[in-house]
Structure 1
Amino acid sequence: MNHHTLPPLGIILCTGFLVPWLLIRARWAQQVPRLALTVWAASGALFAGSAALLSAQLVLPSRTGHRLSDALFALEMPPYEEWSHLSERECAAFAVAVAVLAAPVAGFARALLRARRSRLLHAETLRLVGRYDASLRATVLDHERPVVYCLPGRSRRVVVSSGALTTLTSPQLDAALAHERAHISGRHHLLVAAAESFAGVFPHLPLARLGGAAVPLLLEMAADDRALRRCSRDALATALYALASGKAPRQAFAAGGPSAALRMRRILTPQAAGHPVLRGLLTIAAAGLAAAPLIITCCSFPN
């Protein structure tokens, strides 16, 4: 057995199976959603990189290196003039690693293009049926149901229905608008596309399956936290209540929606961020330490 496969295998097991199991059960994740989102994103990147490294190590012979750094250097892009010095085995390993990494990258690109086309079509419709309100810096759409949502990306805009204008008070409307602008400024659509594409490439992986459901909710909570810098908790919570029944296009972010009740409870029962951050960092450290025995074992083997 090529013992250099143990470190990437350990990282794959930790990020693909252990970390999502810990995150989905961690209470701190919803209290500090930006930290949780960072862990989800880092886990996805580490999983993809480790999968590429593991695939390459399965192709390379065990004598290519003793330390983990040797395995990393085996995949390093050489200068153009040194390509001729690579063996066929090393070229095959490099090609396999690139192919493994290309799958999630291509899926991410497809998800972005598909979402962009959908948003552009919806933006064209809004130009025809909506009207821009300079005081709100939003497009007003004649619709009796109270809805506030945003289109991120290049076609970014905030949309407010006439029903929302008559239902929401001024502080509530300001809170809903601040929530939607937090989605736009935070480029949250990129994380949604990444989670969806990752779940498409690895549909049965716990990291992809659980992350695909957790990331959108955490993004809504992160936008809530950003909006609370400009509005009161009561204004945002009551705005979510009024907008809970509203629906938005698939590629848009809505202030209300099915997660409104959970987010209202979170907003109205705030907790100090210090302890959740500490618990989150301890969870991350525990997951990292889980891979340590495999790495130590690998480095303990003779060459």
Structure 2
Amino acid sequence: MMLFVWSPFLVPFLAAPAARRLAEALPPRPAAWVLGSTGALLAGASAASLGLLLADGLLRIPAVAALGHLSVPWLDEATPTAMVLAALAGLALLLTGGLTLRTAHRQYRDLRRARAALGLPAEPRTRLRDRLAPAAHPLEVLDDDRADAYALPGRPGRIVVTAGMLRALPGPERAALLAHERAHLTSRHHLFLAAAEYAAVLHPALRQLRAPIGYHLERWADEDAARSVGDRAVTARAVGRAALAAARAPRRERPLLAPAVADGPGPVPRRVAALLSPRQTTLLAPAPAAGRRRRVVTALALAACLAVSTAATVDATKDLHHTVETAQLAEDGR
């Protein structure tokens, strides 16, 4: 178990850069899914490995060993360092658990504060049918001269836009702006953002996935908005004009899980350029042979990393189960 259990801690340092590179070669929607699923799988594997290390050490406690009819001398002889590793794993789990709870509380607090500012109930009650098939997302206009617009998650989600932002855009660009925010809510992009935050808490190497996920989610919404309004140039102008208007007097009240068309001023020029010069990139799309080979190699490397992390966690779990069975046999043979 000691050999397998360490892999999920080391693999993310290789897998995260591979996922970022592969995402750059994919359209926005699959890119966001690659980054989000990679972060969730690797974070879950590393948390599971910590739990396995802690469980292996807990088996040495006399009360636990007696409950499971385990031979403590045999366990100590099999893995002498188990208690030390279990103590370190327990501390790591306490730390990451506390940070995860703090992250969840901060996200909930921000969303509740944003809903309260709009005069909405903090915890709306909806029927099951509404949860499975939510109604159209209402539009909330804030009487604020500062330019801002974002998608507020909820049941149903709200498109929040300030009067300043509406004045900054002409009619066609307003339609593109609203279509962009509607795309965030329809595709539940806030769940990707939340998962990225939790993954970053559970493993430090996964922090580098947060910014790329945010960028590809914005590109995903850009493409959906362009299809909705039927004009990529109008959508590009809406993105650029909204970012410039929001940068003049930024608002601080936006929740962390509320995607916004003007979010992240750094990647906005890239988003505008992508809308003005669209090219649907796929893993095997026509491209120079060297570039295509690099994409395929990157995809294979990422798949190998995910497979190794998953297989190592499964093998470590099986190894712990085998250890328990052997310790029980050793106790019965005394």
- What's the TM-score, normalizing by structure 2? 0.63
The one of 272, 279, 300 aligned to 2:280: 272
Q: Which residue is equivalent to 2:233?
A: 234
- Report the AA paired with residue 43 of structure 1: T
Number of aligned pairs?
A: 265
Q: In 1, Cα distance between the equivalents of 2:194 and 2:297?
A: 28
Q: Which residue is equivalent to 2:288?
A: none
- Confirm or deny that 1:40 pairs with 2:48: no
Q: Which residue is equivalent to 1:117?
A: 109
SS at match of 1:265: helix
- Confirm or deny that 1:167 pairs with 2:168: yes
Q: In 2, Cα distance between the equivalents of 1:30 and 1:143?
A: 39
Q: Structure 1, residues 264-299: CA drift from partner, whole Å, max 9, x if none?
A: 112112112334678766523223336889989x9x
Q: In 2, Cα distance between the equivalents of 1:262 and 1:45?
A: 27
The alpha carbon displacement at 1:102 in A equals: 7.8
Does the 8 Å contact 1:30/1:218 carry over to 2? no
Q: Which has the higher contact order (CA 8 A, sep 6+)?
A: 2
The alpha carbon displacement at 1:32 in A equals: 1.9
Q: Structure 1, residues 73-104: CA drift from partner, whole Å, max 9, x if none?
A: xxxxxxxxxx9556376xx9999989977865
SS at match of 2:280: coil
Q: In 2, Cα distance between the equivalents of 1:276 and 1:143?
A: 47
CA distance 1:182–1:292, change in 2 (3 Å): closer
CA distance 1:262–1:50, change in 2 (3 Å): same
Aligned pairs (5 A) from 1:190-209: 190-202=191-203, 205-208=204-207
Please say which of residues 179-188 and 93-102 is displaced more in the overlay.
93-102
The one of 301, 305, 309 aligned to 1:286: 301
- Where structure 2 has 5 or more consecutive residues not aligned to the other structure, the ranges are 58-65, 76-82, 121-135, 286-291, 316-334
Q: In 2, Cα distance between the equivalents of 1:32 and 1:53?
A: 32
Q: In 2, Cα distance between the equivalents of 1:288 and 1:24?
A: 13
Greater Cα radius of gyration, structure 1 or 2: 2
CA distance 1:167–1:287, change in 2 (3 Å): closer
Q: Structure 1, residues 236-284: CA drift from partner, whole Å, max 9, x if none?
A: 1100111113135341322113132221112112112334678766523
Does the 8 Å contact 1:221/1:263 carry over to 2? yes
The alpha carbon displacement at 1:44 in A equals: 2.7
Q: Which residue is equivalent to 1:223?
A: 221
- Percent identity, please: 31
Q: Which residue is equivalent to 1:212?
A: 210
Q: Which residue is equivalent to 2:60?
A: none
Does the 8 Å contact 2:219/2:271 carry over to 1? yes
Q: In 1, Cα distance between the equivalents of 2:94 and 2:28?
A: 29
